[in-house]
Chain A
């Protein structure tokens, strides 16, 4: 879980965001180790999206601080963006460009050299078995491949941290599992994976998970620790109990 150096790629301390009188994210604190797979769970409206927008340098915090990939999100947002990858459920790929063109485009945006792009393209299409489709437009390839390609593009520049926002929504159960193996492989090379999901079985695949309710982190630990702490059979049970308690309050 913790890397040999115990290095942290995300450090969050009292991070807060207010919109007018509404506090969307309320003094959250946690650390994520380099190479860890961290599940960021919460009900709709709990504040996950606002928190992620702060962590990726798109939204300034109202109070508290966060360092991501070694940079302060408030003062060095541009450096944060350069050192992370991001993939949302609605893929960021260009449907009318081919597989190769998408890789080249993102490689260019991330500032990779032509030689590096060439090399990464070959590696990537080999690994995803996309050789025959390299010149096909992205819109014509199956959804499951698109999703794996979107992930690979998000880590094209070997970022220290990759943020995945509901990466497996609507995907068939076999592809969903293959996708998690891709996540493991990436984490094993030292990239930190920060992931949100509505599939509670996927929460069990994370090294640690946090559960957010009404802007606060109310539970944080390994899946085994949380199940023990709440005397629950699954993370689903833990989640339902905490999230229900939150809405009732």
Chain B
């Protein structure tokens, strides 16, 4: 979170922006290192799009400041625009132009050519090249997304900003898209992407968890479990609804959330010995007539941490 001097790709300090009574962004500070793949993870309405629009100079902050590639987002907006690539959340290409025409158009807007941009976009463009004469409006969702990525990269930007590139995309296509981003990052490009899908955090070097305009946490996704202050217990039983009710009735129960085919349980109080908690849960479930419960101690994932932070913030606000 500390400023890293002129070397940072992005430095944001106390960014705020409201729309009427709604605080879309509330005192947001972070930095992105050159060459980093940085993720903003949070649900709809968290402020992700407003943040991206400020970083791409399409909107001004009410308070705070941000420097992108060393340039001020308010004063130097014109210089920033030629040096960043932006893929907005909503499909914003020309539906009536062909794939190739869209690319040539975006290249010309930035005063370059498709040929000059070819090197960076090659690994993506080759996947849509067979359809280069097709109207963009007639492409499948996945192809549209790849074309939009090419258009955002055709002027060889130093920083790529992607606002929810995978929203509404199936689990397989989402993986493939992140594979592409990793390839781009390996070529030295700095990438900032936002997503509502928590499982995509693991593809980033660092993630900022964002909710209702505020950053809850910035962390390395591989180490985010360290932010969890109590043992986490996973329980499996055939009758999930009964299991949920029984766990919620367990003395000392804190959070009880379904997680795929298991239920995650924590005590209300932090600390505590994991094995003792697991034993107590096991005994209590047996006493409540859930005979087939399998209880184990697990490491928290990003979604566990996100929910714990949401609840803590909710408790503070109340």
Give A contacts to B, CB under 8 Å.
Answer: 42-46, 89, 142-143, 166, 169-175, 177, 180-181, 184, 188, 198-201, 204-205, 223-224, 234-236, 239-240, 243-244, 247
CA distance A46 to B171 in the complex (A): 13
A201 touches B168 (CB 8 A): no
Give bound CA distance, A62 to B168, whole Å: 28
Question: Which residue of the partner chain, among A89, A180, A200, contacts B171 with CB atoms under 8 Å?
Answer: A200
Residues of B within 8 A of A169 (CB): 167-168, 196
B310 touches A239 (CB 8 A): no
Q: Is the CB of A244 within 8 A of B172?
A: yes
Give the CA-CA distance A43 to B140 in the complex, in Å.
12
In the complex with contacts A171-B44, A204-B261, A234-B260, A44-B167 CB distance below 8 A? no
Contact of B261 among A44, A171, A199, A223 (CB under 8 A): A223
Q: Is the CB of A177 within 8 A of B310?
A: no
Give me the interface of B with A, judged by CB distance under 8 Å.
42-45, 140-142, 167-175, 196-198, 211, 240-241, 244, 257-261, 303, 306-307, 310-311
Please name all residues of chain A whose beta carbon is closer than 8 Å to the beta carbon of B196 when the two chains form the complex. Answer: 169-171
A240 to B258, CA, bound (A): 22
Docked Cα-Cα span, A73 to B181, in Å, equals 44
Q: Decide: B241 and A172 in contact? CB cutoff 8 A.
A: no
* Pairs of residues from A and B, 5 with the lowest C-beta to C-beta distance, nearest first: A170-B44, A172-B43, A201-B260, A204-B260, A43-B170
A46 to B140, CA, bound (A): 11
Could you count the A-B residue pairs with CB atoms below 8 Å apart for me: how many are there? 86
Which DSSP category, helix, strand, loop or mixed, fits chain A's interface?
helix
Q: Decide: B311 and A174 in contact? CB cutoff 8 A.
A: yes
- 15 new A-B pairs (CB below 8 Å) besides A44-B173, A174-B311, A205-B240? A43-B172, A45-B141, A89-B168, A169-B167, A171-B196, A172-B42, A172-B43, A177-B258, A198-B169, A198-B170, A198-B174, A198-B197, A236-B171, A239-B172, A247-B172
The CA of A177 and the CA of B140, in the complex, are separated in Å by 31
Are A170 and B172 closer than 8 Å at their CB atoms?
no
- Cβ of B258: which chain A residues have Cβ within 8 Å of it? 177, 180, 205
Report chain A residues within 8 Å CB of B142. 44-45
Residues of A within 8 A of B42 (CB): 172
A-B contact pairs, 10 of them (CB 8 A): A43-B171, A44-B173, A143-B43, A143-B45, A172-B211, A172-B306, A174-B307, A204-B261, A205-B260, A235-B260
Q: How far is the CA of A117 from the CA of B310 in the complex (A)?
A: 35
CB pair A44 B170 closer than 8 Å: yes
Determine how close the nearest CB of chain B comes to the CB of A185; give it in whole angstroms: 9
Q: Pick from B44, B45, B198: contact of A173, CB below 8 A.
A: B198
The smallest C-beta distance from A231 to any residue of chain B, in angstroms, reads: 15
